[in-house]
Structure 1
Amino acid sequence: MLLHYLALGDSYTIGEAVPAAGRWPAQLVVRLRERGVAIDDPQIVAVTGWTTDELSSAMDAASFAPPYGLVTLLIGVNNQYRGRDAGEYRDEFARLLRRAVGLAGGHASRVVVVSIPDWGVTRFAREQGRDPAQIAQALDAYNAIARDETGRAGARWVDITPISRRHPELVAEDGLHPSAQQYALWTEAILPVAAAAVK
């Protein structure tokens, strides 16, 4: 039976500034197929710049075909970038996570949440004169919330933030978004968790 895969997120999920094949959801499908998993190409609901509430609104208008054998969720960087309240993020993220579990047929174990990468280490952040320590602190707080809500929901968590911090040079031409090479490193981290989710 062919598994259906839904990827929810923002620029990091749609792969801003990289070819479609370079996006990590696309790379993940290739790697899962190499492991013998019969999985469809990802259905991606993600747009650069989306916050949690904007993703939620887009989901209201999207056409879904549940249950999905795998759902991934990576959202929140634009909440942080716009200076949104962390408590607001918790509420909206928790609602998105409940929707993700519903789309996975009520199986929280099929939902994989990916942490927010640290854009503060990028050339873009330097050129904007942004404080990398302040960005890191804010993103750590957001990721702590997401990890907590993921555990509470019984979903799966993958922390790719350290990868983004170790490889600030692996960015696309825009100097902000990850390159396909960095997404490949994320995929390595996500793969075993996603493989367990689809078992």
Structure 2
Amino acid sequence: MLTCLALGDSYTIGEAVTTHERWPAVLVQRLRRSGTPIDEPQIVAATGWTTDELAQGMDAAALLPPYDLVTLQIGVNNQYRGRPADDYRAQFAGLLDRAIALAGDRAARVVVASIPDWGVTRFAREQGRDRARIAAELDAYNALARAESERAGARFVDITGISRRYPDLLADDGLHPSAAQYALWLEAIEPAVRAALAAP
């Protein structure tokens, strides 16, 4: 039975959707339906976590490596709190190195998902947030995450564009994605995951 570890924040834990609608859970359901024997994902994530808080959460978690697949999606709360991009890069790189180690030092088994753009949400509009600034800062964060992923040999999946194309596919809180938007993310994430699982 294959094992999966999902690392992240509210987007990974599925804030405002049911446990069965979280994208790591739906991913596993899809893999099983196509005949891939994989266990329920172990999720280390919490709403509001930044990169350093995820690291602390990993320290406290009962992890059982090596995992056959590790996913990582983190950084929106760094941007939300106004933290410098250079700090994000260094902390993200550390998390990525840990993710690779947890995948048995197989970088190709690690899939990184980009940060969606919360600036397009109803929450941001109603709060009068500077949507252009949010987009620019998230683009910078995602560029750093992509560069670090490519450097390490991990797979990087851009779901940011999907979040911008479907700004109204939101949960009732007007901020977090709905199950329908997570399903669209998976159209991009699932092929990368299948390629990862096929890697040595």
Q: Which residue pairs with 1:40 in the alignment?
A: 39
Q: Give me the whole-angstrom Cα distance separating, in 1, the residues matched to 2:156 and 2:39.
A: 22
Q: How does 1:24-173 map to 2 (within 5 A)?
A: 24-173=23-172
Q: Give me the whole-angstrom Cα distance separating, in 1, the residues matched to 2:145 and 2:162.
A: 18
Q: Which amino acid aligns with 1:29?
A: V
Q: Give me the whole-angstrom Cα distance separating, in 2, the residues matched to 1:35 and 1:140.
A: 34
Q: Give me the whole-angstrom Cα distance separating, in 2, the residues matched to 1:178 and 1:137.
A: 20
Superposition CA RMSD, Å? 0.5
* Identical-residue share of aligned pairs (%): 71
Deviations 1:62-98 (A, max 9, x none): 1111100000000000000000000000000000000
Q: Give me the whole-angstrom Cα distance separating, in 2, the residues matched to 1:36 and 1:156.
A: 23
Give the match's secondary structure for 2:144.
helix
Q: CA deviation at 1:35?
A: 2.1
Task: State the aligned residue count.
Answer: 198
Give the match's secondary structure for 1:198.
helix
Task: For structure 1, list consecutive stretches of 5 or more residues without a partner in the other structure.
Answer: none
Give the match's secondary structure for 1:71.
strand
**What TM-score do the two structures reach when normalised by structure 2?**
0.98
Q: Give me the whole-angstrom Cα distance separating, in 1, the residues matched to 2:38 and 2:88.
A: 31
Q: Give me the whole-angstrom Cα distance separating, in 2, the residues matched to 1:123 and 1:21.
A: 24
Q: Which residue pairs with 1:21 in the alignment?
A: 20
Give the match's secondary structure for 1:72.
strand
Q: Give me the whole-angstrom Cα distance separating, in 2, the residues matched to 1:106 and 1:34.
A: 28
Deviations 1:103-144 (A, max 9, x none): 000000000000000000000001111011110000000000
Q: Give me the whole-angstrom Cα distance separating, in 2, the residues matched to 1:145 and 1:190.
A: 19
Q: Give me the whole-angstrom Cα distance separating, in 2, the residues matched to 1:35 and 1:196.
A: 14
Give the match's secondary structure for 1:18.
coil
Q: Give me the whole-angstrom Cα distance separating, in 1, the residues matched to 2:151 and 2:31.
A: 27
Q: Which residue pairs with 2:182 in the alignment?
A: 183
Q: CA deviation at 1:187?
A: 0.9
Give the match's secondary structure for 1:151.
helix
**What TM-score do the two structures reach when normalised by structure 1?**
0.99
Q: Give me the whole-angstrom Cα distance separating, in 1, the residues matched to 2:184 and 2:30.
A: 12
